[in-house]
Amino acid sequence: MQTERMIELKRIVAADKAAAYSELEAQLRALLAGERDFIANAANTAALLYHTVPGLNWAGFYRLVGEVLLLGPFQGKPACARIPIGSGVCGAAAERRASVRVADCRAFPGHIPCDPASNSELVVPLLQEGRLHGVLDLDSPVRNRFDAADQAGLERLAAVFTAAIDW
């Protein structure tokens, strides 16, 4: 199946982020329809986000395995494979079971600098009926790249992704 024929990749425009994220949500639902595997769906979701959300240098997943976040499919430079709960921005989002939005990575205590180009970050936990499955991590070289509209939009996308997986 030719994914490019199914999904037209449109970059999100700052002018109407809420509408753009709604359109992206519809694209994500179409992309994931008929597939329930974590690796396949995480790989496609990371690619969709990386190519539609502007100003990213990393977009991908960490999956909770035991007490550790284990690197999953992503787009961007190679990253640390294992992050303990509570470590860095990803570990903080997993521990708090809430999104963590960091305007300046260097100011976040314990930030794990996988790519020194990253200046801001948004991590959304993957939660289903109170159970944590992992996190969605987005990094940007732009300081203060993510606002409340980005957080709200990406939380909806993370919920669509989480519901599309047989965990």
Binding site for ligand SME (CB under 6 A): 58, 79-80, 83, 88-90, 111-112, 114, 118, 121, 137, 139
Residue nearest to ligand SME (CB): 88
Residue whose CB is less far from ligand SME, 27 or 63: 63
Residue whose CB is less far from ligand SME, 59 or 164: 59
Do the beta carbons of residue 32 and residue 25 sit within 8 Å?
no
Give the nearest distance from C-beta 36 to ligand SME in angstroms.
Answer: 25
Give the nearest distance from C-beta 163 to ligand SME in angstroms.
Answer: 24
Token look-up 């999956």 returns 63
Residue whose CB is less far from ligand SME, 83 or 158: 83
CA–CA gap between residue 3 and residue 6 (Å, rounded): 5
CA–CA gap between residue 137 and residue 98 (Å, rounded): 13
Question: In the chain, which ranges are continuous DSSP H helix?
Answer: 3-6, 17-32, 38-52, 88-96, 148-163
Give the nearest distance from C-beta 32 to ligand SME in angstroms.
Answer: 22
Give the nearest distance from C-beta 76 to ligand SME in angstroms.
Answer: 7
Residue whose CB is less far from ligand SME, 27 or 99: 99
> What residue type is 104 in one-letter code?
D
- Coil, strand, or helix at residue 139? strand
Burial class of residue 4, CB neighbours in 10 A (0-12, 13-18, 19+): exposed
Residue whose CB is less far from ligand SME, 112 or 159: 112
Give the nearest distance from C-beta 80 to ligand SME in angstroms.
Answer: 6
